[in-house]
A = this chain, B = another copy of it.
Amino acid sequence: MYSVSSNISEASRPFLTWQRIIDWSQEHYRVRSFAKDEKIPARPGLLYLVQRGAVRLVGSAQVNATSIAARTVNVTPEEAFLGFVGAGQPFEIVAQSPFTLQSYAHVDQTSVLWMYWHDLDNWPHFRREVLDAFRYQHQRKLLWLSTLGQRRTIDRLLGFLTLLIEEFGEPSENGYCLPFPLTHAQIGSAIGSTRVTVTRLMGKLRQKGMICTQGDNLICIPTDSVLSKG
């Protein structure tokens, strides 16, 4: 499991030179804290690193099959939840039509630092770690696409939750739990469904004992469920 808790020990940081990077970003005023759901103004060509908290990636469609109508009535574009970037992980936003990507702080006090790619010339080993992290994220997204190809919404929902908790979940008395809340609307936006349908299907999965919730509406997968059968 990939932990995103803020009190991760230095030894388990994905990046060995992490402390030096943090010092550098503070010296150069390249670090900033964000409140929950605040937009992180990420620009193409820059590399971002999550120092603390978690970042939520969101995509929105600029075109759809009825785009002309949608444009004239000024409909809000559909936003899709694309995943989290946890502490110690890099992200980047490359502007590309016909979709745009955005990043938001998912929890309070999310701290992000940034640099140009050529700043990494000073830290070739660190650059490789960043690139390996993107390689890892790419593999995760392929698994994510695997579940989104499933026809039944309940299968997409369970696959999606399983992958998220496999990556970000933390052990608890109820199994493995997501360390931060995720709304049913956000889940729906990831799996091509609606808030209402997600709420209904989450109820079904809970009845079957395939998921449970804990405390402040955190989603968990019981230890004896799918994760442990992998």
Q: Which A residues are within 8 Å of any B CB, using their own CB? A: 57, 59-65, 67, 78-83, 92, 94, 96-99, 101, 127-128, 131-132, 134-135, 137-139, 141-152, 154-159, 162-163, 166, 188-194, 204-205, 208, 210, 226-227, 229-230
Nearest residue (CB) in B for A58 is: B146
Count of chain copies: 2
Nearest residue (CB) in B for A67 is: B226
Residue with the highest number of chain B CB atoms closer than 10 Å, among A96, A98, A144, A151 = A98
Q: A59 contacts B145, CB within 8 Å?
A: yes
Give bound CA distance, A96 to B154, whole Å: 21
Q: Tell me the smallest distance from the CB of A61 to a CB of chain B, in Å.
A: 6
Q: B148 contacts A145, CB within 8 Å?
A: yes
Nearest residue (CB) in B for A144 is: B145
Complex A-B: 9 CB contacts under 8 Å:
A61-B147, A65-B204, A65-B205, A78-B155, A92-B139, A94-B139, A98-B226, A101-B146, A138-B138
Q: Tell me the smallest distance from the CB of A85 to a CB of chain B, in Å.
A: 11
Q: A149 contacts B80, CB within 8 Å?
A: yes
Q: Tell me the smallest distance from the CB of A95 to a CB of chain B, in Å.
A: 10
